[in-house]
Amino acid sequence: MVSNKKKAITVLSGGLDSTVATSYFNDEYEIHALTFDYGQWSAEREIESAKTVCEKLNIKHTVLNLPWLSKLGGSALTSNEEIPELKADELDNKEVCDETARKVWVPGRNIVFTAIATSFAEAEGAQIIIVGWDLEEAATFPDNSKEFLNAFNNVLEIGSIDNIKIEAPVIDMNKKGIVELGKQVGAPMDLSYSCYKGGKEHCGVCESCMRRKRAFQESGIEDKTIYLE
């Protein structure tokens, strides 16, 4: 059966934010999800999670390998550097979080991912590119900010022959708000994976795990995630 839905490309890491963002548009668009393996420690688990999320949402899934990105170095996510751990009371300490952000920053990651998604969008006639950029992470990761979103959309207006727009439905939300939206739209949050370390279960102590735990706790929504700590 030929779908009458508009088309979308989503950058789906398998994490909480991108799972909710993708689910938000799933009823309206025929979505093709892209997941990137760039040599990150959590690649296997992210890909597995993204695959199960796509199966649940009944959307197409493609895994793209970018081995050169990890070879650039500079990130604990792709090297033997120790992945930083945080305490709950440090999550809103900008100085501490700025330091951990530098350690896990992957050079140009969202610029690369979004550019590749643009190529798929043009080739497949998609109207939008879905991303999970959010307010809480934008505090320390500039490529999650509304300024970055607006700037990239300006680039698309100039540099694409098609009318493509990046949509970031959680751009103004913290993690608590994302969990609440996920509950509202029926996102399979229990299938998402957030841990930097890439273990079978969430470590519970890296910054990403800590933010995930806090979001579910503050929202009062059941967290089915299994944490080691």
Feature table: binding site for Zn(2+): 195, 203, 206, 209
Backbone angles phi, psi at 60, to 5 degrees: -70, 145
- What is the C-alpha separation between 168 and 132, in angstroms, rounded? 6
- Give the distance from CA 191 to its chain's centroid: 14
Q: Give me the amino acid identity at 190.
A: D
CB proximity list for 98: less than 8 A, separation 6 or greater = 140
Where is the binding site for ATP, in residues? 12-22
Query: What is the length of the chain?
Result: 229
Query: Comparing C-alpha atoms, which of 26, 32, 42 is closest to residue 62?
Result: 32
Describe the chain by its helix, strand, coil percentages, rounded to 5: 45, 15, 40
Instruction: Give dist(CA 39, CA 174) in Å, integer.
Output: 28
Which parts are annotated binding residues?
A: 12-22, 195, 203, 206, 209
At 192 the three-state DSSP class reads: coil
